[in-house]
Amino acid sequence: PAADRPILQLTDIWQRFGGLVANAEVTFDVPRGQILGLIGPNGAGKSTLFGIIAGARAPVQGQVVFEGRDVTRLDAPARCALGIARTYQVPRSFDSMSVLDNVMVGSFSRHTRAAAAREAALEVLDFTGLIGRAGASAGDLTPPEKRRLEVARALATEPRLLLLDEVMTGLTPSEARKGVELIRRIRDRGITVIMVEHVMEIVMPLVDRAIVLNLGRVLSQGAPQEVVRDPAVVAAYLGD
């Protein structure tokens, strides 16, 4: 039955940029309703893989199956309509627009009437703790608020799979704790989360499963406490 099927299945994904191999032989399933941590050193191919899942570009080889459907050749708006949303490592909000209008860009993908899009956007702002900043210009937000706005914009598209690319980077420990709490609440809404994160102390307690990429390939995967003890992972990190 559909409920038991992985929400996402990646099979033998390859991506090349000229002579550089950014992803190679990447194969894994993402169970529905979980938080998956995607970790690995800088340049490991994590953001490239997010682009392949969200439809920024097609892989040179391999298959992306979302909810049982082959989406490999669908573009990003089509995948968004099916329920895949992502944030970007470098925030992409519209600085001159208000926080509310930024989020409405997302909610208009689900609601054609402005009043309904606005109501949905306000609900997302409330959920993400940004409601008090709804009227501010996005450009005036603090860095942690900008990260939150990225998450809010993605949530406003009402995804079933949410890809978070380094949303904790640059946060103080107390802001990061709030971020962790937000990600848990997102998962509790039934949204499957894949998160790229560098800080192991943040990722490991939060995720149900972890996948380590190194030089574009899956180096290790499993329960977080198993993955951190995997000799291949220890060697890759010590050698980094």
Note whether 48 binds Mg ion by CB under 5 A. Answer: no
Cα dihedral sign, 55-156-101-185:
negative
Note whether 47 binds Mg ion by CB under 5 A. Answer: yes
220 binds, among Mg ion, ligand ADP, none (CB under 5 to 8 A by kind): none
- Contact track, ligand ADP, 27-66, x by CB under 6 A: -------------x-xxxxxxx------------------
Distance separating alpha carbons of residues 121 and 158, to the nearest angstrom: 10
Name which of 72 and 102 has its Cβ closer to ligand ADP. Answer: 72
* Minimum CB distance to Mg ion, residue 97 (Å): 26
CB 34 within 8 A of CB 79: no
Distance separating alpha carbons of residues 55 and 73, to the nearest angstrom: 8
* Minimum CB distance to Mg ion, residue 114 (Å): 35
- Which token pair is 218? 């899956």
Contact window for Mg ion (CB under 5 A) among 47-55, 93-101, 126-134, 140-148: 47-55
Name which of 21 and 136 has its Cβ closer to ligand ADP. Answer: 21
* Minimum CB distance to Mg ion, residue 214 (Å): 14
CB 28 within 8 A of CB 211: yes
* Minimum CB distance to ligand ADP, residue 228 (Å): 18
Note whether 112 binds ligand ADP by CB under 6 A. Answer: no
- Which token pair is 13? 């994904």
42 binds, among Mg ion, ligand ADP, none (CB under 5 to 8 A by kind): ligand ADP
- Which residues are CB-contacts of 162 (< 8 A; sequence separation ≥ 6)? 85, 86, 154, 155, 186, 191, 192, 193, 194
CB 103 within 8 A of CB 52: no
43 binds, among Mg ion, ligand ADP, none (CB under 5 to 8 A by kind): ligand ADP
Q: What are phi and psi of 71, to 5 degrees?
A: -110, 10
Q: What are phi and psi of 206, to 5 degrees?
A: -90, -35
Q: How many residues belong to the chain?
A: 240
Residue whose pair of structure tokens reads 């930024």 in the numeric block: 102
Contact window for ligand ADP (CB under 6 A) among 17-25, 66-74, 103-111, 155-163: 17-25
Region of 15 (left: φ > 0; alpha: ψ -120 to 50; beta: rest) is: beta
Name which of 46 and 147 has its Cβ closer to ligand ADP. Answer: 46
* Minimum CB distance to Mg ion, residue 42 (Å): 7
Name which of 145 and 165 has its Cβ closer to ligand ADP. Answer: 165
Contact residues toward ligand ADP (CB under 6 A) are: 17, 20, 22, 40, 42-48
